[in-house]
Structure 1
């Protein structure tokens, strides 16, 4: 994804808008959610020539698909991120600038490479723990049962450190029953 900026070089203040739908590249996502490769990626951008280089602003929108991190149900929702990136004309501008913000360079062919910027913005906007809804109960950690189907689902868990005492209690209870039966 490249944007030609030849006509902007040497004309500070000149600008143009760009609205297009492109195919999403691969790798825009995490393990559970992401933007499917070749799906629509809508770009509404403004490219403006400034003294230091080219300022790219606007929005990028796509449809996120994936799985809930708790119950593994499919999820999907629209995602829009704000784009603001400065591309410098020369590498020297990057070195003399004291800002902490990362700047990128206009390529030798006088184009802007959009994919790294969009990848950074879109992937960082994805949730770390995607859920289908905030109160999703997820799956049972013991058997994988879907907890939404039966919220009272539980397994009796006996601490192995108490197992010997449990068997002693069973023996004592059994002895008491035998004594009651013989009386």
Structure 2
């Protein structure tokens, strides 16, 4: 499998050269970067270029570099029940091993099972994307007890009076209802 080298100027790509390959050497990264595009689900995502709060420790281990820390972001979308805007602050744990090129992990793992360093460059974006997307609700709600929309008129239940109803006639009885209406018309003459 051919992988492309990460862009060293990308906001979530870090140069780990200062760690060397000495196990236990640590580098702390705490910064705010713009969110990459497509960080979320349909209708609920972290807006592109909105701030991502990254606070991770990069630690050299025998097989590579361990990235361990937290990432914070604000996800936006709409309530799955009433379509009102939803905004949630997300804070997720990120812990991922980035294997050195040519390490034992090349022989013991498949290419897609573990992230790898490209030279000394560590691309944190895949780990951040996975952690944030997995923390996002599949069905975002404005509040847990959101009643949603009226199925007949489409107005949010919160905006309707408590006695709001729509008269529905079972189509199987509609023919009889016509006979009843015709009979009452005949009586009024």
Cα distance change on mapping 1:21 and 1:165 into 2, 3 Å: same
Please state whether the residue corresponding to 2:156 is helix, strand or coil. coil
- Give the gaps of 5 or more residues in structure 1: none
Please state whether the residue corresponding to 1:169 is helix, strand or coil. helix
What is the TM-score when the length of structure 1 is the normalising length?
0.85
Q: Which residue of 2 is the match for residue 121 of structure 1?
A: 131
Higher helix fraction: Structure 1 or Structure 2?
1
1:20 pairs with 2:37: no
Deviation, 1:31, is: 2.3
Asked if the contact 2:60–2:66 (Cα under 8 Å) also holds between the matched residues in 1, the reply is yes
Please state whether the residue corresponding to 1:148 is helix, strand or coil. helix
Q: Please list, as runs of the form range in 1=range in 2, the aligned pairs for 1:1-183 lying within 5 A after superposition.
A: 1-90=12-101, 93-97=105-109, 102-108=113-119, 110-150=120-160, 151-172=162-183, 178=187
Deviation, 1:153, is: 2.3
Deviation, 1:79, is: 0.5
Quick check: which has more Rg, 1 or 2? 1
Asked if the contact 1:53–1:87 (Cα under 8 Å) also holds between the matched residues in 2, the reply is yes
> What is the total number of aligned residue pairs between the two structures?
175
Give the alignment's Cα RMSD to 1 decimal: 2.2
Deviation, 1:173, is: 5.2
- Give the gaps of 5 or more residues in structure 2: 1-11
Deviation, 1:74, is: 1.5
For residues 2 and 83 of structure 1, the distance between their equivalents in structure 2, rounded to whole angstroms, comes to 15
Query: Deviation digits for residues 133-153 of structure 1, max 9, x if unmatched?
Result: 011111122221121112432
What is the TM-score when the length of structure 2 is the normalising length?
0.83
